[in-house]
Amino acid sequence: MIIQTMIIGGISMNKKVKLFGMAVALSSMVFAAGCGNSSKEASSSEASGEKGGESVAVVLKTLSSPYWKYVEAGAKAAGEELGVDVTVVGPSSEAEVIQQVNMLEDQVSQGPGAVVVSPTQPETVVPVLEKAAKDTPVLLIDSDADFEGKTTFIGTENYSAGQEGGKLLASMLKKGDKVVLIAGALGNPATDTRIKGAKEALEAAGMEVVAEQPADSDKAKAMSVMENILQNNKDVKGVFAANDDMAIGALRAVEAKGLKDVKVMGVDGTMEAVESILDGKLAASVAQSPYNMGYQGVENAVKAMNGEKIEERIDSGIDLITKENAKEQLDFLKSISK
């Protein structure tokens, strides 16, 4: 069965490459999957040529995974193209909520022209965001939060991403099959909402959800979680993980058990995941547009600093990646990794 590429409110991959190709050529990125022993990861873009003195602070959930490296790449490319200083920071993992709050407070105290934030636990950072928004445009990407003075939210509708992923996984199985859901860190609204959407779609299609457990968006933890689940559920046929790192971890556990007919899929469309799909290992991924989020975050931050009107919500779109269209996605990811 051929699954057609699905785009929801977003930009096709060919258009994305054309739109950002010039900006990408100006940015240089070194992608690292791990964070080493550092308790803090941060980077700053130094655009060549004259600058107008404007600056944008970008505070992400972490810089230790490929997904957030793509967001960073997009933010830096926008800074290079638009001639503004862009500082990108993020804690050592998505579980370091307080570390992110401290980083956000530090960036706000330095008086940037605008702040772009992806909050791990929105309710924890709302007081800081409300205070910052009194004097500075504050834009959210990837994960939304409600607070007075927010400029806009840019990102994927996570419920829709999960639901479409659940439908795709169900199409690969048959009614009554047992499936597993692997969530991110407890309280992370983005991954929680993806799981909710996937669960509703899978149950509506007649699948039986036999386990739902968090793995903190971590590959090793997901492998351990999946190993434990398989001890009591050896007849699992499908796994939906809220991000690709966890999907790959779950896949390793499945492979270690010698199970060949379990369909495992994730969310994010990272390079490792897409390569795994091409190799016939992962079944699929719901590809968000992290590069677009980073780029559009800085782009709209500059517009806000210039007094331009910004839409309250900007959907960065999704693509469903299967073996049929994985090569196209891989080519795009390679183009932004140079």
pLDDT higher than threshold 60 for residue 143 = yes
124: left (phi over 0), alpha (psi -120 to 50) or beta: alpha
State whether 92 and 117 are in the same domain.
yes
Lowest-pLDDT range of 25-39, 181-195, 222-236, 277-291: 25-39
Which phi and psi angles does 173 have, rounded to 5°? -120, -175
pLDDT higher than threshold 70 for residue 64 = yes
Model pLDDT for residues 243-283, shown as the tens digit of each residue:
999 999 999 999 999 998 999 999 999 999 999 999 999 99
State whether 253 and 281 are in the same domain.
yes
State whether 105 and 172 are in the same domain.
no
State whether 166 and 109 are in the same domain.
no
pLDDT higher than threshold 50 for residue 23 = no
Total domains, the chain: 2
Give pLDDT, residue 211.
Answer: 98
Determine, yes or no, domain membership for 36. yes
pLDDT higher than threshold 80 for residue 151 = yes
Closest CA to 6 of 171, 143, 195, 244: 171
Q: Residue 183 and residue 230: Cα distance in Å, rounded?
A: 16
State whether 169 and 277 are in the same domain.
yes
State whether 127 and 163 are in the same domain.
no
Give pLDDT, residue 39.
Answer: 35
State whether 121 and 203 are in the same domain.
no
247 lies in which domain range? 158-287
Model pLDDT for residues 78-103, shown as the tens digit of each residue:
999 999 999 999 999 988 999 999 99
State whether 283 and 190 are in the same domain.
yes
State whether 74 and 140 are in the same domain.
yes
Q: Residue 174 and residue 205: Cα distance in Å, rounded?
A: 9
Q: Where are the alpha helices (DSSP H) in the chain?
A: 13-26, 66-82, 97-109, 122-133, 158-171, 189-204, 219-232, 244-256, 271-278, 290-305, 326-335
The residue that leads in pLDDT, 333 or 208, is: 208
Give pLDDT, residue 338.
Answer: 65
Determine, yes or no, domain membership for 5. no
Model pLDDT for residues 119-134, shown as the tens digit of each residue:
999 999 999 999 999 9
State whether 266 and 207 are in the same domain.
yes
Which phi and psi angles does 196 have, rounded to 5°? -60, -45
Give pLDDT, residue 274.
Answer: 97
Model pLDDT for residues 280-333, shown as the tens digit of each residue:
999 999 998 889 999 999 999 999 999 999 999 998 888 999 999 999 999 989
pLDDT higher than threshold 50 for residue 12 = no
Determine, yes or no, domain membership for 150. yes
Determine, yes or no, domain membership for 141. yes
State whether 281 and 301 are in the same domain.
no
CATH number at residue 169: 3.40.50.2300
- Confidence band (pLDDT; 50, 70, 90) for 66? confident
Mean pLDDT on 6-12: 37
pLDDT higher than threshold 60 for residue 21 = no
| pLDDT more than 70, % of the chain | 84
pLDDT higher than threshold 70 for residue 3 = no
List CB contacts of 288: < 8 A, sequence separation 6 or more.
67, 142, 155, 156, 161, 267, 268, 269, 316, 317, 318
pLDDT higher than threshold 80 for residue 227 = yes
Determine, yes or no, domain membership for 327. no
Q: Residue 78 and residue 4: Cα distance in Å, rounded?
A: 31
CB 67 within 8 A of CB 118: no
Determine, yes or no, domain membership for 9. no
Tokens at 188, concatenated: 């992370």
Determine, yes or no, domain membership for 332. no
State whether 146 and 70 are in the same domain.
yes
Determine, yes or no, domain membership for 271. yes
Report the mean per-residue pLDDT for the chain.
86
- Confidence band (pLDDT; 50, 70, 90) for 53? low
